[in-house]
């Protein structure tokens, strides 16, 4: 009986951790920067692009300051 409970508890904790990690990864995966130029062109940089990383850092800094 005790073992069953332990297994169920482990399963529940594992599921919760999995959901949390999946959600976090999903949030990070959605990060992107869209650059709009005067001639109407658009450059979209996703978080996995090396050019996006420094820009996202500035964006995070600004959002953190705005929320403070």
Partner 1 sequence: MTEPSAALAELTEISSQIESAVLFGADGKVVAATIPDEPAAQVAASAKALLEQAAQIGDGELTQIEASTGDGSLFVVKDGTTMIAASTSAEPTAGLVFYDLKECLRAVAKPPAKPAAAKPRPKPKPKPRTTRPKSNGTS
43: left (phi over 0), alpha (psi -120 to 50) or beta: beta
Separation of CA 17 from chain center = 15
**Contact stretch for partner 1 (CB under 8 A) within 4-12, 14-22, 53-61:** 53-61
Neighbouring-strand partners of residue 44: 34
CB of 6 to partner 1, least distance (A): 34
CB of 67 to partner 1, least distance (A): 7
Separation of CA 2 from chain center = 38
State yes or no: residue 50 binds partner 1 (CB under 8 A): no
State yes or no: residue 1 binds partner 1 (CB under 8 A): no
Of the two residues 11 and 22, which places its CB atom closer to partner 1 in the complex?
A: 22
């Amino acid at each position: 009986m005790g073992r069953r409970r332990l297994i169920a508890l482990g399963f529940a904790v594992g599921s919760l951790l999995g959901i949390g990690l999946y959600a976090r990864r999903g949030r990070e995966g959605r990060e992107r920067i869209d650059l709009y130029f005067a001639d109407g062109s658009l450059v979209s940089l996703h978080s996995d692009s090396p050019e996006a990383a420094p820009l996202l850092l500035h964006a995070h800094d600004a959002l953190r300051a705005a929320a403070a």
